[in-house]
Each structure stands twice: as C-alpha cells, then as structure tokens.
Amino acid sequence: MDNILEVENIEKRYGDLVANRDVNLAVRQGEIHAVMGENGAGKSTLMAILFGMIRPSAGTVRLRGKPVQFASTLDAISARIGMVHQAFKLFPSLTVWENIVFGAEPVRGALLDRKAARERVAALARTHHLDVDPDAVVGKLPIGMQQRVEILKALYRDAEILILDEPTAVLAPAERDGLLKIMRELAASGKTLLFVTHKLNEVMAVSDRVTVMRRGEVTDRMVTADTTAAAIIRAMTGREVSHEVVKPATARGRPLLEIDRLMVGNAAKPALDAVSFAVHAGEIVGIAGVAGNGQAELVDAVTGRRVIDGGTLTIAGTRANDLSLRERRGLGMAIVPEDRHDVGSVAGMPAYVNMSMGKHRAPPLSRRGLIDRAAMRRHAETLIQRFGVAIQGPDTRVGTLSGGNLQKLIVAREFDHQAPVLLVEQPTRGVDVGAIEYIHRVLVDERSAGRAVLLISSELPELLALCDRILVLYEGRIVRELAASQTDEKEIGFYMAGGKGA
C-alpha cells in the first residue's frame, strides 16, 4: 500500500507559540488513521493545515506523492479532501439534499436541477449505506443523522480522504457505534480516514494505525493491533496514567439533595415527569440518558434556571423550589457546569477574579463591601497550587487556558466551597487524559469527605467508574436505577434507548 498523504516537517507558529513542530505523518490509502493527543497537542492545527484552513510556517504536504499548497479549503476540496468538523456547518432550515449539493449544484442551463440533485444524493447515500432521507429538514434530524449529512457532503464532492475531527464527542452511544461502523465501511470501500480523537476505546476499536501528538510534536507512531491503550496514554501524556479509579468504602449518610415527584414543562408532554430520587452524603449518583431526555431540564430545575411546575426540591434539608440560585448556593450547593467557557468562567478576566467569585462577598476576600485584591490573588494562588492548574499566575486571563486546565480551575473554585451538595455536569468532556484522571480522583475524594454528588455525564465508562448508583433518564422519567458495581455499558445503553426492564 502506498502513502496517499504525507506530511513532512510541518511547523506552525503563532508568535512565540509553537502549535506544530517538525510534524511528520504518513497515511496509507484505505486505512483509518487515528491522530491522538491531549487538548492543545496540535491535532486540530495539523488538520486545519491539511484542509487548507491555515498555512504552515514551514514543511511540506505531499498528496499522492506530489507536494501541494492549499490557499483555502476550496483547494483542499478540489484535491479530494473532505472534513467533518466538530461543530457541523449545515443550514438547519434546508433539506438534506439541499445541504449536500450546496455550492456544487447540478444545473440544467442556469437553473438548479432539483431532480438530478435529489437522485444523486439518494444514490450516494445508498452506495455508502448512509441511511438518511434526502427530503428531511436538517434542523429536525438528530445529531447522528446530521453528522451523516456532513459525511455525505464530503463524499458528494468526491472526497477520497476524510478528516473527522472529534466526531464522537457529540454522539450518544448507539449513534457512536453506528458511526464507527460507517467508518469501517468507508475504509473498506477505499476511502482514507483521518480520525482525530482523544478517546482511547474508539481508537482501539476502529483504527488501523495511530499517530500520537504531544505539545505540538509527534511522540509516537503505532500499529493499533500491536499496541495497548496504556502505551498510547504514555505517548500522549509522557507518563503513566492510571485509568482505574479507586473508590474507598464510605458509609452512606443522610439525604442531602432530595427530589420528590419533580415536574417540569407542560402537563401534556412534561420535560421531567414525576422524577424522584435522593442523593445521600458520601455517595455519587449518576444520571445517564441520551441527550434531550430531561438531563438539561433536571439541571435547570435544580439550579433555578427553570421554574419547577410540581413536586419539591430539597437542598440540605430546606425546601428550595422558589429560591434564587444564590440562595440555593447559600444552602450548600456547588456546581460544575457543562459549558465551562460560557457559563463556568469569564474568559476576559484574570484567574483571581474567576476563582474568587462566589466567595467574594465575605471576608477575607472582601470587607464591608470593599474587595481585597491581594487576598483574592492569594486565594487563587493557593487553589492553583492545590489543584495543579497549569497557569502563569493569578493575573492571567483564563480565556487562554486549555479545556482541561480551565476545568481544573472551575473544579477548584467550586469544590473549595466545601458545599455538602455537588452538582457536576460533564466534568471531563473535551478534557485531556491527565486532567480526567485528576478530576475523577478529586470527585472520589469529595465523596469520601461526605458530600452528596450528582453527576450528569454522557460518558458511560465515567459513570460506571465513579458512581454508586446510576439512574437512567428516558423521556423525562427515571426508568431504571442500577447499582454501578452490578451493571455494564450494555445494560445502561439498553435502558437509555427506552428498553423495558424485566
């Protein structure tokens, strides 16, 4: 097999920052080639270079043996490279076929040939077993289907090399399995796939070879069949990372977060339908479910973003239905939000402000309404040290931090409240392996310290590793409670898909 794509000594600098240094990559025709690395390792930069979005500072890209230079993505597309971005680039109000042919429409005279366009799209979908209705409106399709539209868009433009940038980050487990199957079929039909990810199990399941990056450089190249997950992690992080979470035995204490017949939404089709559960001191309770089955509404109801239409919410023994978020926090609740950029932090302000918020109204950070910036800086420094946040100092603006570091900063701020109730949403989404290990460890520490932790995660392995109990949400109801030690991904997935228990 020949190399269809070769990258030689690619370098990309932004001022002092080196995003890619001396990167070499060889991709064979018809293989699934995984590119792995933690956040900030330079994977996305490399892909952006390959797809003509940015130009390298030095180095050569060879396509089918010939050196190429892309001035724009159009050049990359005409060189038969396609890319499926993490955030889809689709028109939600247009149909599937309109989205696919957009910009390369079949014409008859000066007019769009709708019939030909529809047929071509349908035929393309059939050949690649990408089952999707050409006339469906894209905005109404589930995420997994929208991703197929993106793939078809690239195939319609005769892409031979498909770049998939973190394609599984947004998918439910069943959709993810579907995508992995599609990837295998595409490779079998001769397409070459570049699979950018930091999820190990997917790389092990689907890829032929792996190139691992760290800090802008390639640290290792491996044949998947001959390597192990541990070896890949070592190459990604430069050290041994334990994937095992050790959970010491704790005594379950009194209930700290109680939710009783909670209703949210209109009576005809409630978003949450009589949801009842309690989280006790010293346990981690997980919420599993395909996105859109009520998790967001549950979080909104607990944090007060949404009005509770029925039932009661009790935080640390006090009814909290009608309290503001500030009052609820006052009862003893800390929150690690799903969206750490837009909700969990303020990018344009220094770390010490970000880390002081929530504690800034009381001594030592302020007295009689006057803030003490020196005390805030000291507070931030202490937390930065204790939680190992990689940041220059308390005055650094947090917008520059990588996903993992920003998450550590948020976790540091919230856990420092020592609140009895912790609401933790997607704590490791888009976070690198090292930070995942760390965040998991501190979550378990909080459990040992007697906190009641409610964990909402789309990562089933995470739920299985951390939780004591897992509740499965389906269409706004808790359809099943499972003991984490006695269940597996398959069983949880069955209930997530609406399966009925025996």
Partner 1 sequence: MTMATGRPAQIWISLRRPAITGAVGIVVAVLVLALSGVDPLRALSALVYGSLAPANIADTLNWAVPLVGMTLVAAVPLRAGIINLGGDGQMVVGALAAALTAIYLPVPGPLALVLALLAGAMAGSMLALLAAWGETRFGVPLLISSLLLGYPAAGVASYLVSGPLGDLGSGLAQTAQLPLDARLPLLAGVNGGVVLIVLLCVLVIFIDRRTVFGLETQVRGENRLFASYVGINAPLQTLRLMGFAGAIAGSVGAILVLGAFYRFIDGALLSPGYTWSGLMAALVGRGEPIASVLAGFFFAALQTGGFAMQRETSVPRVFTTMMQAVIVLVLTLRFGGRSGRHD
**Nearest approach, Cβ of residue 51 and partner 1 (Å):** 12
Closest to partner 1 by CB, 41 vs 187, is 41
What are the CB-based long-range contacts (under 8 Å, 24+) for 367-373? none
Distances (CA, A) of 34 to 203, 213, 338, 378, 440: 6, 11, 27, 43, 26
**Nearest approach, Cβ of residue 439 and partner 1 (Å):** 19
Q: Strand runs (DSSP E) across 119-271, as ranges?
A: 161-165, 192-197, 209-214, 217-223, 255-264
**Nearest approach, Cβ of residue 259 and partner 1 (Å):** 20
**Nearest approach, Cβ of residue 268 and partner 1 (Å):** 25
Closest to partner 1 by CB, 399 vs 461, is 399
Residues lying near partner 1 in the complex (CB under 8 A): 13, 15-16, 19, 39-45, 48, 54, 57-58, 303, 324-326, 329-330, 335, 337, 339, 342-349, 353, 357-358, 360-361, 366, 369-371, 402
For residue 26, what is the DSSP state?
E
Closest to partner 1 by CB, 342 vs 481, is 342
**Nearest approach, Cβ of residue 372 and partner 1 (Å):** 9
H helix or E strand, kind and range, residue 18: strand 17-28
**Nearest approach, Cβ of residue 40 and partner 1 (Å):** 5
Closest to partner 1 by CB, 253 vs 358, is 358
Helix boundaries (H) for 263-372: 295-303, 325-332, 351-356
CA 451, 345, 35, 161 dihedral sign is positive
Closest to partner 1 by CB, 311 vs 330, is 330
Q: Strand runs (DSSP E) across 204-336, as ranges?
A: 209-214, 217-223, 255-264, 272-280, 283-288, 310-315, 318-319, 333-336
Closest to partner 1 by CB, 134 vs 430, is 430
State residue 357 phi and psi, 5-degree precision: -60, 135
Write the DSSP assignment of 110-139 as a string of letters.
TEE-HHHHHHHHHHHHHHTT----TTSBGG
Q: Give the β-pairing of 209-214 and 310-315.
A: unpaired
Closest to partner 1 by CB, 19 vs 138, is 19
**Nearest approach, Cβ of residue 89 and partner 1 (Å):** 13
Number of CB atoms found within 10 A of residue 251's CB: 9
CA torsion, points 85, 91, 96, 101, in degrees to nearest 10?
Answer: -80
Closest to partner 1 by CB, 188 vs 362, is 362
Number of CB atoms found within 10 A of residue 154's CB: 22
Q: Residues 6 or more apart from 366 whose CB is under 8 A from it?
A: 360, 372
**Nearest approach, Cβ of residue 24 and partner 1 (Å):** 18
**Nearest approach, Cβ of residue 355 and partner 1 (Å):** 11
**Nearest approach, Cβ of residue 165 and partner 1 (Å):** 10
218: helix, coil or strand?
A: strand
**Nearest approach, Cβ of residue 37 and partner 1 (Å):** 9
Is 287:471 a contact under the CB 8 Å cutoff? yes
Q: Which class for 486: exposed (0-12), middle (13-18), buried (19 or more C-beta within 10 A)?
A: exposed
Closest to partner 1 by CB, 401 vs 464, is 401
Is the preceding omega at residue 270 within 30 degrees of 0, hence cis?
no
Task: Return d(Cα 66, Cα 2) in angstroms, integer.
Answer: 13
Closest to partner 1 by CB, 402 vs 426, is 402
Beta-bridged to residue 272, according to DSSP, are 264
Closest to partner 1 by CB, 43 vs 377, is 43
